């Protein structure tokens, strides 16, 4: 009997505590470790309007996340547990600003009507609603989505009077800027109020399309090697490599395939060969399979200098069949010739015969028309002459 009495006391106090917590949580955001719930002004709402009034706000995705809306709550003049509905509108870019006869909220131009959505009021009249569905709109990284909600059957309630700055609330992946209300949305009449902040919360999903954790460059003669790594990838088709110099705008110089969707660290590299002397900038244009893209720019510029010596490198591969590559560099502008000879000294190919600016170069020699054997290649530039041997094995 004693144990039963103790149990009943525990149940009584537990339910009493639960009831107290429910009452307190009507306007106070509950504790949550969900990073994708953004709490607006916690209220309680201290201002309100009539049916067909609207509240306007901006949702801004972080530069590193795609954000998809799912659900929200809002304050209204409805009685406890009553039902009403809202018309949901959106536009690309800013939704805020007045006066009443101008600004985004004074005209339907640029707005998309997503339809009517049912809402149920919470347990407190003129308080906050239960969660209700909103259009699953995706906001690209760094973009702003303007939102308008027009209340039907009841009036909206807000927090704020007067004209202080807009309220700004941020969470993982998303920022809310709120503070506008209009008595007659999308017409140049009625009244316009600032500092009427949304009271409620916004639920969303946020994903990092490609989380780049490093991006660096190194220079070897006239080649620039770029290396980068990702921690996560979602829908990643690949990377376009773009280069810019003082004399040119951004231009594509290559492409590297991505790994689609991955939660493992992935490493990438690309070598931009025979880059002209000077200072260059590099960036990655990461592209999803749906065509969405984002830029990642190298934090510092890359300088490709002038070679200090003349040189002719050994071909690679060697032996080869049927093609090989030859690297060479000159420290002064001038006429350059590179010729290939057989063992008898007969010229079999001329690879280069033109004026070249100082720099490092690479050329491919295809010997598919020649027989197997030993060949020699010789460079001449000014007083510099050098000859190396190579072996063709078919």
Tally of domains within the chain: 3
Q: How confident is the model at residue 18 (pLDDT cuts 50, 70, 90)?
A: very low
Residues 285 and 385 in one domain: no
- Please, which residues bridge with residue 297 across strands? 283
pLDDT digits (tens, 9 = 90+) for 92-119: 999 999 999 999 999 999 999 999 999 9
Residue 230 has pLDDT above 90, yes or no: yes
pTM reported for the whole predicted model: 0.57
- pLDDT at 27 exceeding the cut of 60: no
How many Cβ atoms are within 10 Å of 166's Cβ, its own excluded?
Answer: 17
Q: Supply the DSSP symbol for 106.
A: G
φ, ψ of residue 237 to 5 degrees: the values are -75, -40
Where in the sequence is the domain holding 299, given as residue range(s)?
A: 210-304
Cβ atoms of 339 and 349 closer than 8 Å: yes
Provide the sign of the torsion angle of the four alpha carbons 360, 361, 362, 367, taken in this order.
negative
pLDDT at 141: 85
Residue showing tokens 């999308």: 186
Q: What is the spatial order of strands in the sheet that 384-392 belongs to? A: 347-356, 334-341, 373-381, 384-392
Domain contains 138: yes
**Do the domain assignments include residue 71?**
yes
Looking at residue 382, which CATH number applies to its domain? Answer: 2.60.40.1930
- Last residue of one domain, picked from the residues 269, 284, 304: 304
pLDDT at 4: 39
Residue 28, strand partner residues: none
Nearest partner of 242 among 256, 231, 232, 229, judged by Cα: 256
Q: Could you report the per-residue pLDDT of 278-320, keeping only the tens digit for each?
A: 899 999 999 988 888 889 999 889 988 878 889 999 999 999 9
Cα 288–Cα 290–Cα 293 angle in degrees, nearest 5:
45
On whether both 195 and 219 belong to a single domain, the answer is no
Q: So what's the pLDDT on residue 2?
A: 39
Report the C-alpha gap between 57 and 52 in whole angstroms. Answer: 16
CATH of the domain at 69: 2.60.120
**pLDDT at position 352, please?**
97
Domain endpoint, select from 180, 207, 234: 207
141 assigned to some structural domain: yes
Strands 223-245 and 266-272: antiparallel
How confident is the model at residue 191, as a pLDDT?
A: 95
Which tens digits make up the pLDDT trace of 47-101?
A: 999 999 999 999 999 987 889 999 999 999 999 999 999 999 999 999 999 999 9
CA nearest to 82, candidates 48, 27, 129: 129
> 217 with 281, same domain?
yes
In a domain, residue 1? The reply is: no
Q: Confirm whether 4 is domain-assigned.
A: no
Q: Are 259 and 216 found together in one domain?
A: yes
């Amino acid at each position: 009997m004693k144990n039963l009495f103790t149990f009943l006391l525990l149940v009584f106090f537990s339910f009493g505590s639960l009831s107290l917590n429910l009452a307190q949580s009507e306007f106070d955001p509950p504790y949550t470790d969900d990073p994708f719930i953004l709490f607006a002004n916690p209220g309680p709402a201290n201002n309100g309007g009539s049916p067909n009034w609207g509240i306007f706000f901006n949702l801004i995705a972080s530069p590193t996340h795609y954000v998809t809306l799912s659900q929200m709550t809002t304050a209204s003049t409805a009685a406890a547990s009553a039902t009403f509905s809202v018309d949901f509108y959106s536009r690309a870019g800013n939704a805020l600003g007045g006066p009443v006869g101008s600004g985004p909220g004074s005209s339907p131009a640029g707005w998309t009507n997503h339809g009517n959505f049912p809402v149920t009021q919470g347990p407190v009249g003129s308080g906050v609603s239960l969660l209700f569905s909103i259009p699953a709109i995706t906001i690209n990284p760094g973009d702003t989505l303007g939102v308008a909600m027009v209340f039907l059957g009841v009036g909206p309630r807000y927090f704020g009077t007067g004209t202080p700055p807009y309220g700004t609330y941020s969470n993982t992946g998303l920022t809310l800027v709120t503070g506008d209300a209009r008595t007659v949305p999308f017409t140049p009449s009625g009244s316009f109020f600032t500092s009427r902040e949304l009271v409620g919360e916004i639920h969303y999903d946020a994903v990092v399309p490609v989380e780049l954790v490093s991006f660096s460059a190194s220079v070897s003669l006239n080649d620039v090697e770029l290396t980068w790594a990702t921690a996560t990838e979602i829908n990643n088709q690949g990377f376009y490599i773009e280069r810019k110099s003082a004399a040119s705008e951004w231009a594509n110089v290559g492409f590297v395939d991505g790994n689609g969707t991955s939660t493992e660290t992935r490493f990438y590299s690309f070598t931009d060969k025979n880059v002209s002397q000077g200072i260059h900038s590099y960036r990655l244009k990461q592209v999803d399979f749906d065509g969405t893209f984002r830029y990642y720019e190298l934090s510092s510029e890359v300088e490709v200098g002038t070679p200090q010596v003349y040189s002719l490198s050994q071909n690679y591969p060697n032996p080869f069949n049927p093609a090989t590559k030859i690297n060479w560099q000159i420290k002064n502008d001038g006429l350059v010739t590179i010729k290939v000879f057989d063992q008898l000294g007969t010229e079999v190919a001329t690879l280069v015969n033109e004026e070249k600016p100082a720099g490092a170069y690479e050329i491919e020699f295809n010997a598919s028309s020649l027989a197997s054997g030993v060949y020699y290649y010789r460079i001449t530039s000014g007083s510099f002459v050098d000859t190396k041997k190579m072996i063709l094995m078919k």
